[in-house]
Structure 1
């Protein structure tokens, strides 16, 4: 990690009052790619990455709250709230919010995950003050009107129905439940029909007040931006809303802990009349803070991360058993999941599962070949850089890094870490992760005899 402090702002003023503290986290050449962070006395953190050569800017606010922060009865509240913050503030109606960004050709959206929520707008650099004002207003001034809660309930129920109609999407929620059970991490981000119908305005408003305190928020802006200007504009917007009233507050720390997933050999089947069977064969992974994540990233790329990967070649290219087949790893603060997905004809399920299991077992035993390692490192290095070619991706990187790690890593440092992965590191993480007994999630129209054989894949 690369980080250094600028001695530019003291922690306290001469009167003993807490004031802002500014740090340069990554120093780019001639200011290009420089990442700076200012922490306000309220605990609000503001980060920028400067790219003077572009004409756009992306502004986002990350909230340290996700679906894992919900109780069973509140399941879906985080996502529900994400919708409601677009419905109006004390200063703007829902139409005012969308029209303001549309009028300058910008784009605005949000997403909710299991451990965080993000609201963002991408605009021309000259329109950044507008984006800052609108997004900050949404985060600090939402009225959460009871009529909007009732109206948006129907929209969210339709979103749940849309997900249920897409088994390739729904199977990932099923896999989370298979591996993590009825726990905050195992429940769907959207909630269920029952929990969404049970949520009321007062419950959501209390959830909003608890989790959208400045200490829980990270502001991130990337593109043709000036750090000091962004800090001033964000501070003004939060002050106007009365959201910076606390004194010397400490930002919330990244999530931590150790959650062991001991599920092994579990099978869940959701029998539906679909054209394909959708399967995920997987096992516990590693937390996102585990230093083995670099080796696991290389392993994942070689196993199921592209057209030259083992799974793609064995399942699709050589045998034509599936159109879509890939592997993935999800890292949370205290645990992780590793999975192999495939969509195939129901009659081919057992053949696909056997091939996937055989490949997992072989890599767990032998690791990767030298050629696979070289190719995976090159592919992962290239995709890492290409994935950071726009201001939205840069905003995501600095915002998520601050919220999840409280630090920043330069692209050069990331590439160096990927390229330093050794065969021994890959063999070790393959043995530790892929060597575990897997579990299985399936959605599809399997007959009784087919369903009875699913245990063979996890034996």
Structure 2
């Protein structure tokens, strides 16, 4: 049976560390840096994502080719991603290779070179990525919606940046961004592997030494984790993109991470409205009953001091107002009428099952643990979260719908 305990400590260099034992031959490790798009101050939008790309182009001891082959030669996988608040480098590898994997993550984060020739090469790759992203209206419209909704806040800029900002980025911008944000005290190393704590700590110590990580730095100020709902910009925009299909997002700000109980209630509400199940309310109404859309999704992204809720769908252009009207009617129903207890109980069971199935993945566990200890200093208590979810009442859910989906809070963006 798998051990559900999570061992946590702080390494001598100041990096937070968490370990969870698994029963697999495959080990997972991740280095989560509390540094994302919101930390791009004077460097310009897209610098965080640009930096992530450059981490793989060469370090003080390894070429780009050596980095790619370091874990791949034994079947391992190395990857990274950037969000509004994090940069994450992670690896999946055989457990006997764990020390190599950890040392590589640390070396990439703290020993990369950022050479001019690599910056120029990768600049073209990122511009191509931005252009290809614009060929996907559902992705483009979400980023545009979030940018409009959070206008004037550090969370507004798009992760990829713009072609203009990427062309303007220079080596000094990258190095300044890394110097200010890639700090040991703002990092979390997480491991999921089939070994005991002592063995893991030996491998971690070996990896830290090999990567040349020195002593502890001065701690820096953490993101302010808020527990209050903020208002976003209100807008209703229709843009002619000359697309074959119309795409629409209706949404608003949501609870930040610090609103624990309300955040869990909103997760449940969004899952009922438009989660991955075909039986979600909006999918049943817009697709199964009326045949107006291929799919509809309700997403909720909580940040440290804000959140974004977005209802998104694509449909024929002549059906866009019908879909919007039906969606607004369903939101009104949830504001005005409480769910029956039997339906609420079934919705909770469905969400719990989805969460358990999603968590039955070593990589996802490793990433989640890293994020939790970086935000809260400890791993999330799954039992506590489950108890809160099970205790959410129909009255609370209706109150959540009234507070979040009040008509005067909702904004809309349409691409036609």
- TM-score clears 0.5: yes
Within 5 Å, give how 1:286-325 maps onto structure 2. Answer: 286-291=255-260, 292-305=262-275, 306-325=277-296
Partners of 2:232 and 2:252 within 8 A in 1:
no
1:81 aligns with 2:51: yes
Partners of 1:137 and 1:237 within 8 A in 2:
no
What secondary structure sits across from 1:188 in the alignment? coil
Runs of 4+ in structure 1 displaced over 6 angstroms? none
Partners of 1:253 and 1:406 within 8 A in 2:
no
1:66-118: per-residue Cα shift (whole Å, max 9, x none)?
10111265211110000000111111111111111111111111110001111
CA distance in 1 between partners of 2:266 and 2:153 (Å): 25
Aligned to 1:331: 302
Partners of 1:365 and 1:435 within 8 A in 2:
no
Aligned to 1:148: 118
Distance 1:102 1:169, change over 3 A: same
Distance 1:302 1:119, change over 3 A: same
Q: How far apart are residue 130 of structure 1 and its match?
A: 1.9
1:107 aligns with 2:85: no
CA distance in 1 between partners of 2:203 and 2:96 (Å): 13
Of 76-85 and 34-43, the range deviating more from structure 2: 34-43
Q: Name the larger-Rg structure.
A: 1
Counterpart selection for 1:396 from 367, 388, 399? 367
1:193-249: per-residue Cα shift (whole Å, max 9, x none)?
1111110011101111211111111000112143333334334433444432336x4
CA distance in 2 between partners of 1:367 and 1:197 (Å): 52
Aligned to 2:11: 40
Q: How far apart are residue 254 of structure 1 and its match?
A: 5.0
Q: How far apart are residue 250 of structure 1 and its match?
A: 4.0
1:278 aligns with 2:250: no
CA distance in 1 between partners of 2:264 and 2:103 (Å): 38
Counterpart selection for 1:91 from 61, 70, 84? 61
Partners of 1:178 and 1:439 within 8 A in 2:
no
Partners of 2:98 and 2:203 within 8 A in 1:
no
CA distance in 1 between partners of 2:208 and 2:171 (Å): 24
Counterpart selection for 2:348 from 363, 372, 377? 377
Q: Which ranges in structure 1 are unaligned for 5 or more consecutive residues?
A: 1-28, 445-459
1:262-291: per-residue Cα shift (whole Å, max 9, x none)?
423x12233212121111001221112202
Aligned to 1:255: 224
The normalised TM-score by structure 2 is 0.94
CA distance in 2 between partners of 1:252 and 1:241 (Å): 25
1:386 aligns with 2:357: yes
Partners of 2:184 and 2:216 within 8 A in 1:
no
What secondary structure sits across from 1:279 in the alignment? strand
CA distance in 2 between partners of 1:276 and 1:49 (Å): 46
Within 5 Å, give how 1:5-84 maps onto structure 2. Answer: 32-51=3-22, 53-71=23-41, 73-84=43-54
Of 158-167 and 228-237, the range deviating more from structure 2: 228-237
Q: How far apart are residue 61 of structure 1 and its match?
A: 0.1
Q: How far apart are residue 57 of structure 1 and its match?
A: 0.8
The normalised TM-score by structure 1 is 0.86
1:174 aligns with 2:153: no
CA distance in 2 between partners of 1:385 and 1:49 (Å): 16
Aligned to 2:333: 362
Aligned to 1:11: none
Aligned to 2:395: 424
1:326-369: per-residue Cα shift (whole Å, max 9, x none)?
21211111111212111101111010111011111111121333
CA distance in 2 between partners of 1:256 and 1:412 (Å): 22
CA distance in 2 between partners of 1:62 and 1:171 (Å): 28
Q: How far apart are residue 251 of structure 1 and its match?
A: 6.8
1:442 aligns with 2:414: yes
Aligned residue pair count: 412
